[in-house]
Amino acid sequence: MLRKTTVYLSDEDMLLLRKMANIRNVTVAEAIRLSIKDSCKPRDKEEKQVWDSLDKIWAKTAAINPSKIEKAVGKAMREVRSGRKGRSRS
């Protein structure tokens, strides 16, 4: 799935992207995506290990449903608040 975003580029960067797009016969948007893919690769073994660790963390959190988190937080807040009602201040 593609997501729309806004990026501010200098005239020089825009010219470079247009050249790349023309050479590869793609749109400027595709040239941006290709550039990101090329530049966002791990450069060495240490960086690759960090990327692999991030992938593992993100894989675990991807299964978490945001609405379940909201419900759990809401429930916890209600429990805390109800616990406060029974206490008297001294």
| Per-residue pLDDT at 49 | 92
Domain assignment of residue 20, given as a range: 1-41
Q: Are residues 59 and 35 in the same domain?
A: no
Q: Is the pLDDT of residue 88 over 60?
A: no
Cα distance between residue 90 and residue 52, in whole Å: 53
pTM of the model: 0.58
User: pLDDT of 36-87, one tens digit each?
Assistant: 999 999 999 999 999 999 888 888 887 788 788 888 888 988 888 887 655 5
Cα distance between residue 67 and residue 55, in whole Å: 23
| Per-residue pLDDT at 63 | 78
**Residue scoring higher pLDDT (73 or 17):** 17
| Per-residue pLDDT at 31 | 96
Q: Are residues 90 and 47 in the same domain?
A: yes
Q: Are residues 59 and 87 in the same domain?
A: yes
